[in-house]
Amino acid sequence: MKLLTCPMNGPRNIDEFQSFGPVRAKLDPDGTADTDWSRHLFRAENRKGIVVEWWRHVPSNYFFLAERDLVSNEIIRTFDASELRDLA
Amino acid sequence: MNRLPAPFGSRIDRSRPVHFTFEGKPFEGYEGDSIASALAGSGQWVLSRSFKYHRPRGILSMTGADANALVQLPSEPNAAAERTPIVEGLRVSAQNVNGSLERDRDAIMDRFGRFLPVGFYYRTFMGPRRDSWLKFWEPIIRRKAGLGVIDTKAPHRHFDKTHLHCDVLVVGAGPAGLGAAIAAAEAGAGVVLCDENPEIGGALSYGRYDPGILSGLASRLEALPNLNVLTGTVCNGWYEDNWLPLIQGNRLYRTRAREVILATGAIEQPAVFHNNDLPGIMLGGAAQRLIRHYGVRPGQGAVVLAANDDGYRTALDLLDAGVSVIELADPRSGDEAGPLHAELRGKGVAIRKGATVEAAEGTPGNRHLASVRIGGSWIACDLLTVSIGNAPAWQLPCQAGGKVGYEAGTQMMTITLPKGSVHLAGAVAGTDELEDAIASGQRAATAALSRLGHAVAVEPLVTPKSVRPRYVQPIVADPKGRDFVDFDEDLQVKDLQNATKDGYREIELVKRFTTVGMGPSQGRHSALATARIVAEATGRSVGEIGITTARPPVGPETLGVLAGHHEVLERRTALHTRHIALKAEMKPVGSWWRPYFYGDASGAEEAVREEILAVREGVGLLDVSTLGKLEIRGPDAGEFLDRLYTMAHANQPVGRVRYCLMLNEMGSVVDDGVAYRLAQDQFYVTATTGAVARVYADMLFWNAEWRLKVDVLNLTGAFSGLNVTGPKARQVLETLDSDIDFSHDAFPYLSGRDGTVAGVPVRVMRIGFTGELSYELHCPSSLALSLWDAVMAAGRPHGLRPYGLEASRILRLEKGHILIGQDTDAITTPDELGFGWAVSKKKPFFVGKRSIEMRARLGQTRKLVGLQFPAGARNIPGESCLVLRGGAPVGQITSVGYSPSLGRHIALAYVHVDDRAEGSRVTVKCRNGELVEVPVVAHAFFDPSNARQEI
Amino acid sequence: MAAGTATRIYPFMPGGAADGTKLVSGAIVLSDLTSQPRFGLKGGGSAAWLAAQGIPLPAVNRIGDHRGMRILRLGNEDVLLLAEDDAKTLAEVKAAWNAAAAPKGYSSWREEGWAWMQLSGPRLAEAMSSLCALDLRPQKFGADDIAQTRVGHIEAVTFRSPAGFDILFDITASAYFARVVAAVAGHTDQHRGHS
Amino acid sequence: MPLRLLKYGLSRDYPVSGDIPATPELKPAYDVVIIGGGGHGLSCAHHLAKYHGIKSVAVLEKGYLAGGNTARNTTTIRSNYITPEGVAFYKEGVELFERLSQELDFNVMFSQRGQLTLAHTEATMRSFHMRAEIGKHMGTRTEVVDQKGVEELCPLLNMDYGGPLEILGGLWHADGGTARHDAVAWGYAAQASRRGVEIHQRTEVQGFEVVGDRVQAVKTNRGRVACGQVLIATGGMNYDVALMAGVELPIRCYPLQAMVTQPLKPWLDTLVSSVSLHTYLVQSSRGEVVIGGGSDPYQLYSTRSTLDMKEHLAEGAVHLFPFLQGVRLLRQWAGITDMTPDYSPIMGASPLANLWLDCGWGTWGFKATPVAGKRMAQTIADGRVPDILKPFALERFETFQLLNEMGATAASH
């Protein structure tokens, strides 16, 4: 079982978590053309490389972010969502 | 009897004889014997028939890894005879025989071998008809394929799982593993040492070593309380982040280790020559195991093929066991004669250098070895031990990211691991001598300890002794074949060569075309030889060819141990025992138990009808506790719901209840419920039973992005819900002691009240899934029984009846209320449901808004409508029956049922958007294929003006 | 929502949802504490209000003590108070909270939503190893640690108590949980027979 | 004894068939470059050469032939989908399988023993009825059976459980079956190469030369190849390869795992799958029981195996057939699936005029090997998309014309 380190609960088996997929760019729905909107809905980040994605620690319902390599499955780091806002 | 006296036979207890049968014949062994050793002790050497040619096969390795020694137990196919202990009365039989092991009618296959070249099944069995394979050939092949027979009446066995955590896991308790485990534990680390054998020691337990070495290590081991030794425990795989399954009998230890030291040893390799598979030909280690572990003499007259010291030691062991060693053939040329050589010579054993076994011949029917050919001359013998070299046990290291290489200089298979938390020690890392193995274990421990933060003196890298090139046995391909490379799959040298000629030149293609390495031993004894044969056939180096990917498990493991024991999750509402007492027919809904109806199954239809009538004409009571219940609290609660649901909630007055419809980003309907505003900063929201887990998670997810000032609390279990519904609902509630005014004016439709009913604090909502006057009472679950009992008592004079899920479904269908997931699918929009009224046109944003606008522009193709069948209609289509237009499917029935209130069948269905108007007639295809025409009506079949729910 | 006069029934009581489900005892003992007093606050303002009452709040996933209460910090704004003895302080805090004006956080209704059970007995460690994947050995998991994790395949909160491990989980799964523990107890005995 | 075997036995030497010619030198240009030497690419090559007379075709495979999902899938062939578009397409696929051994003169061992999918919930039964109604309407053999029907079709199933995992009924699909996956690819490879198609193993595409709306050439580790038309059929690598051409597909990659037991004498005739347990089982002609289930729960390009998936599949298998407790598992493995938002493939045109897509095959690619190859060959040869493929166009994700297959695919592949 892979380990995922929850920023709040520490390292846990990954079956305690639920993946919510890669973080997506925020779009203003009204200022977005139809084609870009459908692209936003259906195209997900899937490049070979590192993605930033949302995870939920199910027992504590804590949501956080992880940087993970989609090829090696290595988790580079995990962090609280507040840091994402700081980065943005 | 081929039994030897003590001290041979470390595993057996001669004072405890055990009786069992093999192929119906009685045998005796001792406690501690494996099936194979007990049979060998009684002179029964043939254990099985081979996969394809049905040749007699016997002990090869005594490690339990190959198909040769798989047997059938009454309730267990493919049991490893070399590992399975005998127990009193055990019935053992041979596998894959047509008739008996002794007289196998399919032995004729051995003569037809030339008609069955590699891959022959791809080139034939196709005709004469298109379905000849399915109807004729495959059944034959299927019967011939497979090994053991499954017992479909096998008694249930108990398996369980648990967890184990350690600083250092050492796999393999041979010299290297012992060295590693002791060093790590002496430094203070928490260590688990596991070994698949019943004792520690590995080669020290069966090889020709000073017993003092093992006892010395064992006493150091015992002094370490932080060292947990698990013998009889196989480490059967390596998974990400050092997660390893340790299997001990019927128990699976799911193990997390911070550091792992793999001291998995080496795998002795067989020699390839004509008839190299005869019973009586075994690896040197197998002979030593038989002698020392089981006190079994492996033969009477032996030839020893030895290209390393282990082979010489085996010869000496054979002599000690009273076996006459006729000759030792050493394929290595050169005159160097070590001490072992001299010792053997001293005991009168003839040693022939530069010679190898070229072929073997068997007794009639190839039941046992009769003679071997060396240097052109035949030597009679009943035992040939083979010690020509090893391959490191690559399975676990490769699963952990190790790469297999081949050093042409030393002709060794090598393994390199990336730097990290997995370390190799001993023979798997290429060590040869005992002292080197122990030291290699200690070095691995040092590396692990330093990664764990222990202050350890980093040992200077010892310059390894110059490694002697290993001798590699030439592969003696024979024109007559039967020079087996893979015993499991009956593959010979030419089979592999021929595969390359057909273009299957990559090792993985060779494997797939020939099935080499795909049998029970998973290439343990064939991978190296295969790589060499393919390399030679394709003009490449062994390194370029490589071996096929090592995948878990390391060795066969039962589905039972993997499955373990599992209780099925069940959830009960607080009113569970009341339903049971009322003789409810309970049905699972997700993990919940819910009353389907009340009464005997025989009277189901009648009971449901009565329950419906009670609600329509009197009053009914439904346990709605499985509904999702969420509390949204905080200053931004209204704003939060505005973004999540399609209706407006920020402006919803306190004390009001509003329908809520949830879309996903694609604009598809995913859930519905109601929201009751308890306070300016507090909403009580319901979600459907099946969707609440996802709705709750999605709410949290959205708020992780939005960061609004709200808290979401899932109250699904904390609160219970009772729906009191029917024209007499108000009368019932008004008789109860309460501070709530249930009158029409004080408590109108779509409002909510807090208060106390019968001493129970409640949240009451006036909503109407049934279309009748309804009060939904929610209360803390520990008080639900009190409330239920009070309502039941108050309702008794009014004929109140509890009703179940089936009645509830019909009641809602009569009102045309949709069920999410039944009347909707993954692409349903509010428009398709006719739910424009539930979608705010004013809000700037809600999830799915942008998409439903876009989808509306793109145009819709279907609409959910009501269908009403004429009273007495004969053929009523079932759920999912197709709605056709011009013969093409355009929609389907989503819900259908008989409405006792209307006296006819009604349905909800998707129809083509152009047929949506009331009065249109649509064609529905019944299950039996018949087409019926049905008129479209409005959703609300019953009481279309909704007068009843608002009284 | 004030408590009334009606009787509270919890799952393992007569008439409760798990009535008739056996709680194992022997080498592994499962006891039901669900009826024991507790009080939790969750959501904005919860921590501040509790702190204002003079209740010292431990760090997240740690347990503190205060006047006969164990204080479980389950999140920044999620605190659960467990009564250790006569529940007097707990009742006072609860009464104070009911009487207080906002902002005061929100009730987390844990006394209704969560079953509270305790696992103990001579083979406690083995049972917990089987039920939970976490490393709960004393050197790794101390008396003031909280694990929000899975126990018996369902979401749970667990922590040490003098007698063993306390476990909080979805109250509707009470009967299931008791069955899981019984099965583990059975397997623990079986395996002992084997080794 | 079949004549062929007699011939083998009587000939002195092994009768070399030379199914797969050694990789030749790359030519500077081909009419059609097919990226991906798996079943789909080889099937397309075969159809181009045999039925459209296009023989200047290079199939580029970065590893060994058919070593991706062709070699890793669990070989289920079926057409019991839930949309008319899906059923029409896969039905043609099943029909092609029925005569594939003859078409290829290579025994692909198509074994049409039927597929039984089990329902443990009423919602699943409802979706089965939907699939059955569509299936019957479209002329496939698909029907709902009740508990008794399930017992008759598969008497060894454990029907004793009450509660949430009780078997309520099933979907019986008599057209369902399996085939030897490798043989399908090898048969196509042998036929295609006999007609002049070049198969280049160990030839990895590293980029595209795009000028305007056309791909001029494909860049590989063995050099540049100019191309008339290009097809992407690279399974789990589709997203990645298309991206090199500047085409971003609505695909996420997830591992899909499977496992196999030691060989046993035949006991299981049909394919059996359970929607709720996310488990399916089929016994191969070798006697091994192949067990598979749903995809991994998060995106990944790795083919590593996990213990938890193995435990989960074992649990499902033992639940359905309790006597499997004592059966031993031999091997587990994984492939990388390219999942689309609507669980349906993407076939047809791309934004580039001469770049064609055969992508988004998720967990159901193998069964479409013959039909996808046939129809993509037709598309490339004609330069336009045939009607049967139109519903699978990439544009559907811009027009919300998704195929409503969600729910028909889970644990059923």
pLDDT of amino acid C194: 46
| Closest residue, chain A, to D243 (C-alpha) | A47
Please state which architecture CATH assigns to domain C29-194.
2-Layer Sandwich (3.30)
B130 pLDDT tier (thresholds 50, 70, 90): confident
> Would an 8 Å CB–CB cutoff place B601 in contact with chain D?
no
Residues of A in contact with B704 (CB under 8 A): 54, 63, 81
Domain covering B13-116, topology: Ubiquitin-like (UB roll) (3.10.20)
CB D412 within 8 A of CB D281: no
Is residue D223 located within the same domain as residue D287? no
Give Cα D95 distance to the centre of its chain.
15
- CATH code that applies to domain B160-267+393-451: 3.50.50.60
Structure letter (DSSP) for residue B133: I
Three-state SS for B213-279 is HHHHHHHHHHCCCCEEEEECEEECCCECCCEEEEEECCEEEEEEEEEEEECCCEEECCCCCECCCCC
Query: Who contacts B888 (Cβ-Cβ below 8 Å, separation ≥6)?
Result: D84
pLDDT of amino acid B474: 72
Among C129, C179, C187, select the one facing B158 at the smallest CB separation. C187
B110 pLDDT tier (thresholds 50, 70, 90): confident
**pLDDT above 50 for C49:** yes
| Closest residue, chain D, to B241 (C-alpha) | D306
> Would an 8 Å CB–CB cutoff place A58 in contact with chain C?
yes
**pLDDT above 90 for B632:** yes
- CATH code that applies to domain B625-798: 3.30.1360.120
**Cα(B385)–Cα(B280) distance, integer angstroms:** 8
The CA distances from residue B69 to B78, B148, B197, in Å, are 9, 12, 17
Residue indicated by tokens 């298979």: B413
**pLDDT above 90 for B761:** yes
Whole-model pTM: value is 0.95
B468 pLDDT tier (thresholds 50, 70, 90): low
pLDDT of amino acid C193: 47
Q: Which of residues 26-85 of A touch B (CB under 8 A)?
A: 26, 29-30, 32, 34, 37-38, 41, 54, 56, 61, 63, 73, 81, 85
CB B639 within 8 A of CB B633: no
Q: Where are the domains of chain B?
A: 13-116, 160-267+393-451, 268-389, 478-560, 625-798, 855-951
Q: What value does the mean pLDDT take over residues C106-125? A: 97
Among D240, D248, D302, select the one facing A72 at the smallest CB separation. D302
Q: What value does the mean pLDDT take over residues B188-202? A: 97
Q: What total of structural domains would you count in chain D?
A: 2
**pLDDT above 80 for A86:** no
**pLDDT above 90 for B756:** yes
pLDDT of amino acid B768: 83
Identify the domain containing residue D235 by its residue range.
Answer: 26-111+177-251+340-413
The CATH class, in words, for A3-87 is alpha beta
D411 pLDDT tier (thresholds 50, 70, 90): very low
D78-127: per-residue pLDDT in tens?
A: 999 999 999 999 999 999 999 999 999 999 999 999 999 999 999 999 99
pLDDT of amino acid B125: 82
Is residue D327 located within the same domain as residue D410? no
pLDDT of amino acid B174: 97
Is residue D203 located within the same domain as residue D91? yes
| Closest residue, chain D, to A75 (C-alpha) | D300
**pLDDT above 60 for B458:** yes
Nearest to D119 by CA among D127, D110, D111: D127
Choose the final residue of a domain: D282, D312, D339. Answer: D339
pLDDT of amino acid D409: 45
> Would an 8 Å CB–CB cutoff place A16 in contact with chain C?
yes
Kindly provide the ipTM of the predicted complex, given to two decimals.
0.95
> Would an 8 Å CB–CB cutoff place D251 in contact with chain A?
yes
Choose the final residue of a domain: D339, D367, D389. Answer: D339
Is residue D200 located within the same domain as residue D169? no
What does the block give as tokens for B574? 């607080």
> Would an 8 Å CB–CB cutoff place B152 in contact with chain D?
yes
> Would an 8 Å CB–CB cutoff place B332 in contact with chain C?
no
Is residue D184 located within the same domain as residue D151? no
pLDDT of amino acid B890: 96
**Cα(C90)–Cα(C53) distance, integer angstroms:** 12
Three-state SS for chain D is CCHHHHHHHHCCCCCCCCCCCCCCCCCCEEEEEEECCCHHHHHHHHHHHHHCCCCCEEEECCCCCCCCHHHHCCCEECCCCCCHHHHHHHHHHHHHHHCHHHHHCCCCCCECCCEEEEECCHHHHHHHHHHHHHHHHCCCCEEEEEHHHHHHHCCCCCCCCCHHHCCCEEEEECCCEECCHHHHHHHHHHHHHHCCCEEECCCCEEEEEEECCEEEEEEECCEEEEEEEEEECCHHHHHHHHHHCCCCCCCEEEEEEEEEECCECCCCCCEEEECCCCEEEEECCCCCEEEEEEECCCCCCCCCCCHHHHHHHHHHHHHHCHHHHHCEEEEEEEEEEEECCCCCCEEEECCCCCEEEEECCCCCCHHHHHHHHHHHHHHHHHCCCCHHHHHHCCCHHHHCCCCCCCCCCCCCC
**Cα(D137)–Cα(D175) distance, integer angstroms:** 15
Q: What value does the mean pLDDT take over residues B599-626? A: 95
B497-537: per-residue pLDDT in tens?
A: 999 999 999 999 999 999 999 888 889 999 989 999 999 99
Among A3, A34, A81, select the one facing B854 at the smallest CB separation. A34
Residue indicated by tokens 């959703």: B939
Please state whether at least 3 CB pairs lie below 8 Å between chains B and A.
yes
> Domain for residue D220, yes or no?
yes
Structure letter (DSSP) for residue B178: H
**pLDDT above 50 for D410:** no
B889-928: per-residue pLDDT in tens?
A: 999 999 999 999 999 999 999 999 999 999 999 999 999 9
CB B488 within 8 A of CB B277: no
AA identity, residue B315: A
pLDDT of amino acid D45: 98
Helices (H), chain C: 46-52, 88-99, 110-113, 124-131, 174-194
Q: What value does the mean pLDDT take over residues D255-271? A: 94
Is residue D320 located within the same domain as residue D310? yes
A53-64: per-residue pLDDT in tens?
A: 999 999 999 999
**pLDDT above 60 for C70:** yes
B303-341: per-residue pLDDT in tens?
A: 999 999 999 999 999 999 999 999 999 998 876 678 999
Residue indicated by tokens 């020559």: B273
**Cα(A17)–Cα(A19) distance, integer angstroms:** 7
> Domain for residue D17, yes or no?
no
Assign B478 to helix, strand or coil.
Answer: coil
pLDDT of amino acid B659: 96
Is residue D155 located within the same domain as residue D209? no
Instruction: Tell me what the pLDDT averaged over chain B comes to.
Output: 93
Q: What value does the mean pLDDT take over residues B391-399? A: 95
Among B163, B573, B710, select the one facing C129 at the smallest CB separation. B163
Here the contacts of A41-44 (C-beta below 8 Å, separation 24 or greater) are A41/B665, A41/B666, A41/B851, A41/D341, A41/D397, A42/D250, A42/D341, A42/D397, A43/D248, A43/D249, A43/D250, A44/D250, A44/D251, A44/D252, A44/D299
B133-156: per-residue pLDDT in tens?
A: 888 888 888 877 777 899 999 999
Among B120, B552, B888, select the one facing D5 at the smallest CB separation. B120
Assign C102 to helix, strand or coil.
Answer: coil
Q: What is the dihedral of CA C32, C34, C39, C43, to 10 degrees?
A: 100
C195 pLDDT tier (thresholds 50, 70, 90): very low
Query: Who contacts D301 (Cβ-Cβ below 8 Å, separation ≥6)?
Result: A48, A70, A71, D236, D253, D336
D407 pLDDT tier (thresholds 50, 70, 90): low
Residues of C in contact with B715 (CB under 8 A): 109, 112-113
Q: What value does the mean pLDDT take over residues D348-362? A: 97
Domain containing D152 — which CATH number? 3.30.9.10
pLDDT of amino acid B466: 45
CB C87 within 8 A of CB C54: no
Q: What value does the mean pLDDT take over residues D140-168? A: 93
- Residue B214: phi and psi, rounded to 5, are -70, -45
> Would an 8 Å CB–CB cutoff place B249 in contact with chain C?
yes
Residue B776: exposed, middle, or buried by beta-carbon count in 10 A (0-12, 13-18, 19+)?
A: buried
B257-271: per-residue pLDDT in tens?
A: 999 999 999 999 999
B699-746: per-residue pLDDT in tens?
A: 999 999 999 999 999 999 999 999 999 999 999 999 999 999 999 999
**pLDDT above 60 for B464:** no
> Would an 8 Å CB–CB cutoff place C155 in contact with chain B?
no
Q: What value does the mean pLDDT take over residues D270-281? A: 94
Is the Cβ pair A34, D252 closer than 8 Å? no
C192 pLDDT tier (thresholds 50, 70, 90): low
pLDDT of amino acid B126: 82
What does the block give as tokens for B250? 């019927």
Q: Where are the domains of chain C?
A: 29-194
Is residue D157 located within the same domain as residue D222? no
Choose the final residue of a domain: D297, D314, D339. Answer: D339
Domain covering B855-951, topology: Elongation Factor Tu (Ef-tu); domain 3 (2.40.30)
